[in-house]
């Protein structure tokens, strides 16, 4: 999942400081002040609320935004919870895109300015985008799944493109289709809650050459023909590496791509049957060290996608034949058909929970 996050008044909380500074500047210019207009939405992301509130000319507005506002934004501290929850989202596999309306009209180098602030405050991001006055268009072009912004108008704009939005602004209310929050704790919890109750997004499996697969599948088919109910999903014969969560399929595949060149065709010796808690019958690999090395490669590369409740599990590679509450019939039938053999691992598969093949890699 790719999340777009605004900077000013989203990663920071500076609106009161900006308003006070604008009042002081306006007073120095003997301007007539209409503070009610500060409650307006900056619809064009161009400082129009300050022009309406303080009757600034274009040059006066430019001076305020380039000099006074920049000084405030450059010295702003992150909102409470920003460092904790942005980092959590990153570690959980979300892509973080910082998207700001800071632009070259009012700032000498908005990219450098924003980059330096993010670096100084140790805020993680995958990509920084400036000059984003039209955030709906930018989010569509960048394939953003969710925008977090303090401006309700930006949130409404991205929604026109079918993109979800969360508004961080206690002053905005009444828009029942845009969730509104006043802190990052609630934003993070909302994102996690609305992911749904999925147990996992992907499963990595090692697959076999045709001869090995046919031998194993023949046992599974016989169990089915003999009315042994298999509660496992209809997977092809395989050895599972692990389960993972990542909303961004493209990102997950990129991480897998980095590992695949380190995996070669592997011969596995299978000498016996075994079971887990009398509920899952499986064929047990004998030479497990090679499989363990493959597992470790993925544990390192895909660490931020692994399910927390699986990280302390002892890896026991196996080829499932049947999952059932009563394995007596399955064990007897399988023992009659099974004989020790050497299987060949020739594929790596990425599946989703619906048993749809996402990508297949042929091992060299």
Characterize the bridge pairing of strands 95-99 and 127-129. parallel
Contact (Cβ atoms closer than 8 angstroms) between residue 188 and residue 81? yes
Contact (Cβ atoms closer than 8 angstroms) between residue 148 and residue 168? yes
Q: Give the per-residue pLDDT at 24.
A: 86
| SS3 readout for 306-356 | ECHHHCCCCCCCCEEEEECCCCHHHHHHHHHHCCCEEEEEEEEEEECCCCC
Q: Give the per-residue pLDDT at 175.
A: 53
What is residue 145's DSSP assignment? S
The pLDDT > 70 percentage for the chain reads 93
What is residue 33's DSSP assignment? P
pLDDT, average across residues 185-200: 78
Give CATH 3.40.50.1000 domain extents, the chain.
Answer: 2-193
Q: Inform me whether the pLDDT recorded for 104 exceeds 50.
A: yes
Q: Give the per-residue pLDDT at 161.
A: 87
Q: Inform me whether the pLDDT recorded for 283 exceeds 90.
A: yes
CATH topology for 2-193 is Rossmann fold (3.40.50)
Q: How confident is the model at residue 223 (pLDDT cuts 50, 70, 90)?
A: very high
> Angle between the 249-260 and 289-301 helix axes, to the nearest 10 degrees?
140
Rounded CA-CA distance 192/308 in Å is 14
Q: Give the per-residue pLDDT at 217.
A: 96
Q: How confident is the model at residue 66 (pLDDT cuts 50, 70, 90)?
A: confident
Phi first, then psi: give them for residue 345, nearest 5 degrees. -85, 120
Answer with the residue of higher pLDDT: 303 or 248: 303
Phi first, then psi: give them for residue 200, nearest 5 degrees. -165, 165
Phi first, then psi: give them for residue 311, nearest 5 degrees. -70, -25
Q: Give the per-residue pLDDT at 211.
A: 97
CA distances from 9 to 13, 80, 82 (A): 4, 12, 12
pLDDT, average across residues 119-142: 91
Q: Give the per-residue pLDDT at 240.
A: 97
Q: How confident is the model at residue 174 (pLDDT cuts 50, 70, 90)?
A: very low
pLDDT, average across residues 91-108: 84
pLDDT, average across residues 330-345: 95
pLDDT, average across residues 243-272: 93
Q: How confident is the model at residue 91 (pLDDT cuts 50, 70, 90)?
A: confident
CA distances from 166 to 44, 82, 158, 198, 276 (A): 19, 15, 10, 22, 45
Q: Inform me whether the pLDDT recorded for 196 exceeds 60.
A: no
pLDDT, average across residues 128-147: 91
Q: Inform me whether the pLDDT recorded for 300 exceeds 90.
A: yes
Q: CA 333, 353, 242 angle in degrees (round to 5)?
A: 75
Contact (Cβ atoms closer than 8 angstroms) between residue 4 and residue 136? no
Q: Give the per-residue pLDDT at 130.
A: 92
Q: Give the per-residue pLDDT at 198.
A: 57
Q: Please state, as a whole number, how many other Cβ atoms lie within 10 Å of the Cβ of residue 192.
A: 12
Rounded CA-CA distance 69/14 in Å is 10
Q: How confident is the model at residue 166 (pLDDT cuts 50, 70, 90)?
A: very high
**Is the pTM here over 0.85, yes or no?**
no
Rounded CA-CA distance 6/150 in Å is 8
Give the 3-state secondary structure of residue 282: strand
Q: Give the per-residue pLDDT at 40.
A: 47
Q: Give the per-residue pLDDT at 173.
A: 46
Q: What is the DSSP string of 42-95?
A: -TTSSSHHHHHHH---HHHHHHIIIIIIHHHHHTPPBPTTHHHHHHHHHHTT-E
Q: Give the per-residue pLDDT at 52.
A: 75
Q: Please state, as a whole number, how many other Cβ atoms lie within 10 Å of the Cβ of residue 275.
A: 19
Q: Inform me whether the pLDDT recorded for 2 exceeds 80.
A: yes
pLDDT, average across residues 139-146: 90
Give CATH 3.90.1140.10 domain extents, the chain.
Answer: 202-362
Q: Inform me whether the pLDDT recorded for 47 exceeds 70.
A: no
- Report the largest interatomic distance among the alpha carbons of the chain, rounded to a whole angstrom: 97
Q: Inform me whether the pLDDT recorded for 218 exceeds 90.
A: yes
Q: Give the per-residue pLDDT at 354.
A: 80
Q: Give the per-residue pLDDT at 359.
A: 97
pLDDT, average across residues 245-262: 91
Q: Give the per-residue pLDDT at 199.
A: 67
pLDDT, average across residues 260-287: 94
Mean of all residue pLDDT scores within the chain: 87
CATH for 202-362 is 3.90.1140.10
Q: Inform me whether the pLDDT recorded for 328 exceeds 50.
A: yes
């Amino acid at each position: 999942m790719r999340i777009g996050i605004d900077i000013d008044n989203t990663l920071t909380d500076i609106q009161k400081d900006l308003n006070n500074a604008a009042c002081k500047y306006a007073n120095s210019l003997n301007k007539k002040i209409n503070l009610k207009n500060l409650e307006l939405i900056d619809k064009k992301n161009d400082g129009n609320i300050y022009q309406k509130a303080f009757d600034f000319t274009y040059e006066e507005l430019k001076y305020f935004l380039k000099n006074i506002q920049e000084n405030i934004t450059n010295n702003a501290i992150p909102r409470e919870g920003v460092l904790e929850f942005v980092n959590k989202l990153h570690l959980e596999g979300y892509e973080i895109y910082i998207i700001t309306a800071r632009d070259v009209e009012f700032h000498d180098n908005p990219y450098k300015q924003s980059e330096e602030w993010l670096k100084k405050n140790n805020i993680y991001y995958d990509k920084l985008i400036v000059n984003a006055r039209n955030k709906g268009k930018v989010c569509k072009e960048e394939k953003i799944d969710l925008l977090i912004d303090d401006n309700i108008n930006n949130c409404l704009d991205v929604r026109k493109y079918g993109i979800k939005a969360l508004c961080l602004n206690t002053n905005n209310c009444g828009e029942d289709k845009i969730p509104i929050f006043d802190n990052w704790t609630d934003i993070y919890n909302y994102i996690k809650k609305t992911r749904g109750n999925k147990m996992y997004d992907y499963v990595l499996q090692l697959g076999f050459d045709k001869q090995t697969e046919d031998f194993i599948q023949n046992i599974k088919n016989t169990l089915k023909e003999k009315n042994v109910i298999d509660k496992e999903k209809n997977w092809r014969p395989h050895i599972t590496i692990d389960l993972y969560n990542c909303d961004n399929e493209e990102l997950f595949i990129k991480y897998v791509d980095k590992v695949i060149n380190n995996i070669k065709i592997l011969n596995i010796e299978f000498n016996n049957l075994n079971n887990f808690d009398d509920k899952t019958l499986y064929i047990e690999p004998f030479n497990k060290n090679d499989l363990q090395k493959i597992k470790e490669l993925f544990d390192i590369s895909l660490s931020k996608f692994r399910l927390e409740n699986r990280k302390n599990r002892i890896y026991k590679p196996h080829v499932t034949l049947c999952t059932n509450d009563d394995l007596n019939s399955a064990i007897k039938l399988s023992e009659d058909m099974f004989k020790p053999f050497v299987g060949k691992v020739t594929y790596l598969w990425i599946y989703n929970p619906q048993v749809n093949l996402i990508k297949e890699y042929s091992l060299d």
